[in-house]
Amino acid sequence: MQELDSIYPNDKKECYQLLHAQMIALLENEFYLISNLSNVSSLLNLALKDINWVGFYLLEENVLHLGPFQGKPACTHIPVGRGVCGTAVSEGRTQLVADVHAFPGHIACDCASNSEIVIPIRKDGRIIGVLDIDSPSIGRFDATDREGLEEAVRILEASF
């Protein structure tokens, strides 16, 4: 049997195209948020190379609470405005951080993480959480990742 992660192309754009098609099929007629977040975190973990954590934080009363994820144990709550995740919520936009150690107020849940990308997730126009992905490599994420992951979040949002 072929290993699932070996089906993902090394070319990032091609990888995201395949990932998006798989997400659409996986989320079709599925409406339970926690199940969808769980499956998407697993799929992203399989598809993306050179990452060490991928998951979701869900927003409730100005605090992000840990949701479904793949990786080592993580911070369980993050106040809005703190760290990369909290900044993504307070600014309402994707945070792409090449070196988390240079990010003011970075919260180090895993000292092996060196770069991070965080994308806000919206429902009915308001932020309900974030997609958070870490890498042990400095500069791992680029504009292609931003575009591909923002599209992945749009696909996820369409399932709500």
40 token code pair? 């998407």
Q: pLDDT at position 4, please?
A: 55
Strand order, beta sheet including 126-135: 77-79, 63-71, 53-60, 126-135, 115-123, 95-97
Using CB atoms within 10 Å of the CB of residue 86, give its burial: 0 to 12 exposed, 13 to 18 middle, 19+ buried: buried
Please name the residue that has the structure tokens 């600014």: 91
| φ, ψ (nearest 5 deg) of residue 121 | -115, 130
- Digit-coded pLDDT (tens) for 65-76: 999 999 999 999
- Digit-coded pLDDT (tens) for 93-132: 999 999 999 998 778 777 789 999 999 999 999 999 999 9
1 has a pLDDT exceeding 60:
no
- Digit-coded pLDDT (tens) for 22-57: 999 999 999 999 999 999 999 999 999 999 999 999
